Amino acid sequence: MRRGRYPFIAGFLVLPLALYGFFVLSPYVQTVVYSFTDWSGFSPEFNFVGMANYADLLKDEVFLRAVGHNAVILTIYPLVTILLALFFAFMLNVGGRGNRAGIRGVAGSGLYKIIFFFPQVMSIAIVAILWGKVFQSNEGGLLNALGIKLGLVDPADPPLWLGESDSVPVGPFKLGPLILEAPVVLWCLIAIAVWVGVGFYLVLFSAGMQSIPKDIFEAALLDGSSRVQTFFRVTLPLLWEHLSVAWVYLGIAALDFYLLVIALTQGVGGGGPDNASHVMSSWMLYTSFQSSRIDKFGYGCAMAIAIAMFTLIFAIIQLRITRRDKIEL
């Protein structure tokens, strides 16, 4: 019986594995090979150039600037998204008042979850149209119109928002042009990404909190723990696996960020104004497919491999940093 089982299982696996190898693994292998060539993407002829494409990456000012933009996004976007999602999830699950030792969510928590999650069901095109109107650079934009009404914005010179390339430091200290500062347009994109992403991670953390026995919260509160102490000493340690997964997913999203750049920024392939919002992925596609540089497909493949390596290294480091022994309830 056991001898016949393995050929039976193998028979089911052959076709899916063959399709996976052909449609998934094969393009990856081809990308690696083409990254060592000068292939134009159109001609069947190409020459191997060794590491020349990778050396050119270190001389590409726009790519290096895009790496800095991704570094800012990787620093800010996951942190803000997780903090907001954790706060809202805690309030919606154990932050309410009542007769059950404070283990109920705030009133209307079910409705709030739907509202927070709603941006997740919207396509990127709808998000782009909606936030394009919010950040519209004239007095017709929602932010500018509000600022004019409140007397905070000069009607003759309203902020450009998505058309603004001036850099703004992350904090009060300007310690470097690549890591700790970013153009205004990039801050706008990060804000939109946080708005879209908070709902998903709120639901993820809510599911984790609901799996924690309420007896634990009751015992902590009866022992005199405040809500803040309960959150840091009970909720956070028991949600550590969920946090680890969230960090990895958000980090990968931060190293991508292609869709928002393409949908909301100026120029062919996005990245405007003046390359102020280019990230690695958008510059890679722009370099590979723009008509004026049709001989750069091999170089674009090298850029794609570099992005893949950045993502892989980040995931490995993040999983190592956040690895902890599982807490058994």
pLDDT (0 to 100) of residue 73:
93
Residue-by-residue pLDDT tens, the chain, 329 positions:
456 677 777 778 888 889 999 998 999 999 999 999 988 877 788 889 989 999 999 999 999 999 999 999 999 999 999 999 999 998 888 766 655 445 667 777 788 888 898 998 898 889 999 999 999 888 888 898 999 898 888 888 888 888 887 776 655 444 444 445 688 899 999 999 999 999 999 999 998 888 888 788 778 777 777 777 888 888 888 888 889 889 999 999 999 899 899 989 877 667 878 888 899 999 998 888 775 555 688 999 999 999 999 999 998 888 888 776 555 55
* Structural domain span for residue 189: 61-321
- Do residues 7 and 18 lie in contact, with contact meaning Cβ atoms separated by under 8 Å? no
Residue 67 placed within a domain: yes
Question: What pLDDT, on a 0 to 100 scale, did the predictor assign at position 127?
Answer: 92
Does residue 196 form part of some domain?
yes
What CA–CA distance (Å, rounded) separates 301 from 54?
10
Domain containing residue 284: CATH number? 1.10.3720.10
What is the structure's pLDDT at 177?
A: 44
Residue 115 CA to residue 185 CA, distance in Å, equals 26
DSSP 182: E
* Domain presence at residue 98: yes
Whether residue 119 is contained in a domain is answered as yes
- Which residue has 């650079």 as its token pair? 137
- Residue 30 domain-assigned (yes or no): no
List C-alpha distances in Å: 252 to 12, 24, 146, 221, 318. Answer: 32, 19, 35, 37, 11
Question: How many CB atoms are closer than 10 A to CB 318?
Answer: 17
Q: Residue 85 and residue 208: Cα distance in Å, rounded?
A: 12
Stated pTM of the model: 0.86
Q: Are 63 and 53 in contact (CB under 8 A)?
A: no
Residue 76 pLDDT: 92
Structural domains counted in the chain: 1
Please tell me the distance from the alpha carbon of residue 87 to that of residue 249, in angstroms, as a whole number: 19
Residue 4 CB contacts under 8 Å (≥ 6 apart), including other chains: none
Give the span between the Cα atoms of 139 and 147, in whole angstroms.
9
What pLDDT sits at residue 250? 94
Element at 118 (helix H, strand E): none
Query: What's the pLDDT at 59?
Result: 92
User: Do the domain assignments include residue 115?
Assistant: yes
**Does residue 245 form part of some domain?**
yes
pLDDT at 214: 76
Residue 95: what pLDDT?
67
∠ CA 23-251-275, rounded to 5°: 85
54 within domain boundaries: no
CA distance 317 to 320: 5
